[in-house]
Every structure is written in structure tokens, then in C-alpha cells.
Amino acid sequence: PSDGSWAAPFDVGPREGNCPEGYPVVNNNEGGMVVVAWADCPSGNIGPWEMRVAVSYDNGTNFTTWNASGFERGINMYPFVSITEENVVSIAFYGLDYDQNNSEDGYTAGKEWFLYAGALKDPQEGDVWDYRIVDPTPLHTVTAYEESSGDTHALHDFFETVMSPDGSWMGIAYQENVGLHPFEENEEQRYIKFIRGDMSASHDVIIPSGDDNMEMPFLNPCELIATVRPDLC
């Protein structure tokens, strides 16, 4: 049994910006895996953001850290991590891709926020999650006010993910902003949504005819590895 003491803190990685939406999240499993993820804005609040992940396989004694951003130009906000006992790590986040619709500008009115997610088994340094949009409905559209004020906080931090014990499905609770708020200036009406997705070999977001259920774009466990490592499958 433990004597209740704490180990010395481990510096898992840098945070170069001061975006309030960049706080770290952590999760673990019974096998000793610990994952920390956080957002960073080294080029300022509306410059391209980064999303960093730190992974430990020895109960947090040692970590490897790398940039796991969803896109080169854009915002990866509020990453959230879930882990199965088989070391499948899912990351979901609110994302705004500056290059959407072949755009070459930055944080401008009319650009759309989406919910992104991806899963990866036994991630190692340099691996990239194959993030996909899991809800085709935009969560929010940047307004002229937000562009002029540099306000990127529309979706707030109402966001969390879970994975089933057997790793067969994932669930995400998240926020959508649609329509004018009845009494808050420069705000929209907010709705909390939940989406469940089964692990699938399909990369496509599928909405079956006459059915609101959506198949999440995740892969089977041995296909979850973005950088193929034959030793694992």
C-alpha cells in the first residue's frame, strides 16, 4: 500500500500561448497508460492553434509528447481524451479549419466550427490521429462581431467524451449554437447534444435513410494506427 505521498511533478510539455480554452485534460486506464492533452495558441488567440498530447505507459512516470493538431491552419479547442483497457485512445475537439472551402484567410466571419474526433491504438510519438468531422451540422458560424473582436469562445467548454468498456463505441456530449439568444447580446441560443458512434472500418460519416443514427468514422483496432506498425497487428 502507498504511504500517500506524491511523486515529483513531470514536465509533460510547453504551453506557449495564453488562450483560456487551452487547459489540460488527463485520463488513464488500469494497464498503466496515462494521456494528457491540451490546446495551445503560440501565435495568439486567432493565429493557428496547436494541440499537444503526452502519453505514458508506466502510470505517469515517463511521458513522450508531440504535436497532434488536427490541421495546420485553424483552431483545435477543448481536446478531450478517453481510453480503453486495450489502449485505444480517442481524442475529440471543437475545430475550425481555416482552409475550409479552399480559403486562404484566417479567423473570418462565415467560417464554421465542427466536432472532430479520432481514435488510435497504442499511440507512439509522432503518430497522428485521423480526425474526422463526426457531426456534419456546423456547431457555430463565426460572426462579424467575433471576427472584429477576436472572440473564439462561442462554444465554451461544454464538452466531454466516453468510451464503452469493451471499446466498441464512443459517445460525445457537446454544444451547438444556433439562432439568436433571447436576451444575451452577441450570443446565440445553445443546445447540448449527444452522439454515439460504433467503431467501424468505414471512414465515411453515414446517415442512413430515414434514420438519425450516425456511424462514427473510426476504424477497427488494428486499423486505428495512422502510422502503420506491423508489430501491433
The total domain count for the chain is: 1
The pLDDT value given to residue 61: 95
- Please report whether residue 38 resides in a domain: yes
Instruction: Provide the greatest CA pair distance for the chain.
Output: 58
- Please report whether residue 12 resides in a domain: no
Residues 6+ positions from 231 with CB-CB distance below 8 Å: none
Q: How far apart are CA 118 and CA 92, in angstroms?
A: 7
Q: How far apart are CA 21 and CA 19, in angstroms?
A: 5
* Proportion of the chain in helix, strand, coil states, percent, rounded to 5: 10, 40, 55
Residues 6+ positions from 63 with CB-CB distance below 8 Å: 10, 12, 13, 34, 36, 54, 55, 56
- Looking from the CA of 141 toward its CB, the CA atoms found within 13 Å total 8
pLDDT at 100 over 50: yes
Q: How far apart are CA 111 and CA 141, in angstroms?
A: 6
Instruction: Please name which of 106, 173, 163 lies closest in space to residue 139, comparing C-alpha atoms.
Output: 173
Q: Among the listed ranges 26-35, 70-79, 172-181, 189-198, which one has the minimum average pLDDT value?
A: 172-181
Q: How far apart are CA 150 and CA 106, in angstroms?
A: 11
Terminal-residue alpha carbon distance, the chain: 36
- Please report whether residue 78 resides in a domain: yes
- Please report whether residue 3 resides in a domain: no
The pLDDT value given to residue 18: 85
Name the residue range of residue 134's domain: 20-225
Chain segment 3-56, per-residue pLDDT in tens: 888 989 999 999 999 886 778 999 999 999 999 999 999 988 888 999 999 999
The pLDDT value given to residue 167: 84
Q: What is the rounded average pLDDT for all residues in the chain?
A: 81
- Please report whether residue 8 resides in a domain: no
The stretch 81-108 carries a mean pLDDT of: 92
- Strand-pairing partners, residue 183, are none
- Strand-pairing partners, residue 64, are 55
The stretch 121-138 carries a mean pLDDT of: 92
The pLDDT value given to residue 202: 42
- Please report whether residue 39 resides in a domain: yes
179 versus 223: the higher-pLDDT residue is: 179
pLDDT at 110 over 70: yes
- Please report whether residue 11 resides in a domain: no
63 versus 184: the higher-pLDDT residue is: 63
**SS3 annotation, 122-182:** CCCCCCCCCCEEEEEEEEEECCHHHHHHCCCCCCCCCCEEEECCCCCEEEEEEEEEEEECC
Percent of the chain clearing pLDDT 70 (strictly above): 79
> Alpha helix locations (H) across the chain?
144-149
- Strand-pairing partners, residue 117, are 92, 132
- Please report whether residue 15 resides in a domain: no
pLDDT at 222 over 50: no
Q: Among the listed ranges 82-86, 116-120, 142-146, 205-209, which one has the minimum average pLDDT value?
A: 205-209
pLDDT at 67 over 90: yes
Tell me the pLDDT band of 211, cut-offs 50, 70 and 90.
very low
Q: How far apart are CA 179 and CA 192, in angstroms?
A: 14
